[in-house]
Amino acid sequence: MDAAERLIESTRELLWERGYTGTSPKAIQQRAGAGQGSMYHHFAGKPDLALAAIRRTAEEMRAKAEEQFSAPGTVLERIAAYLHRERDVLRGCPIGRLTQDPDVMADPALRAPVDETLAWLRTRLAGLMAEGRERGELDAALDPRATAATVVATLQGGYVLARAAHSVQPFDQAIAGVLGLLAAHASAAHEETWQP
C-alpha cells in the first residue's frame, strides 16, 4: 500500500473512532507511517484527505449493501440479509456517525458523500420494496419510500441505542422489530415461507 492509500485508510479509521475534530493531521501521519511532506504531497490538507476518506467509506458501504440487495431471493430475504449482516455495532455506522460531527455537517463538501450515501440507501431500499409489490411478495398498502426511510432510521437508531447501552441487544431488537413490521406486509402467498 502506497503512502496515499495508507493516509486514506488511516483517516477513515480515525474519523470513525474520533470524528473530524479529533482527527489531527499528526495522528493521521503517525497511524499511516507517513511524514508531513508525504501527506501534503498527496493531499491539499486535512479537509481534502478527509473527503477522500469519507468517499471511500461511502463507496465501501454502498458496495457491501449492494451485495445483499442484488443477491438471489425474495425482496424480504435480501433486506433481512442486509440488516443481519456482520457489523461492528458498538463502533456505530462509519457514515451515520459523521452526521453527529458538526464540522462535517457544516462543510458542504464533506457532508455531500454522507447525504448521498444515506439517500442512495433509502432509494435502493424503496426500489426493492416496489419490486416486492410488483412481484406480489409485499402487499399493495406498503409505501416503499416511507418504509425505506423507516428501515434506514431504525438501522441508524439501533446503532445509537447499542452505543448508549454498550450492548448489541438494543440494535438486534430494533432490527427484529423492523423486520417484523415488514413481515406484516408480506403477501399471503409469501408470509408462510419467510421468517424475519
Going from N- to C-terminal start, the domains of the chain cover 56-191
Is 38:95 a contact under the CB 8 Å cutoff?
no
Q: Which of the four pLDDT bands, split at 50, 70 and 90, describes residue 187?
A: confident
For residue 143, pLDDT over 60 is answered with yes
- Selection from 99, 74, 86 nearest residue 196 by Cα: 74
Q: What's the predicted TM-score (pTM) here?
A: 0.90
Section 21-34 average pLDDT: 92
For residue 194, pLDDT over 50 is answered with no
Q: How far apart are CA 181 and CA 69, in angstroms?
A: 19
Q: What's the CATH number of domain 56-191, 3.40.630.10, 2.40.50.140, 1.10.357.10, 3.40.309.10?
A: 1.10.357.10
Residue 37 has a pLDDT of 87
pLDDT tens digits for range 75-130: 999 999 999 999 999 999 999 999 999 999 999 999 999 999 999 999 999 999 99
Q: How far apart are CA 16 and CA 92, in angstroms?
A: 8
For residue 190, pLDDT over 70 is answered with no
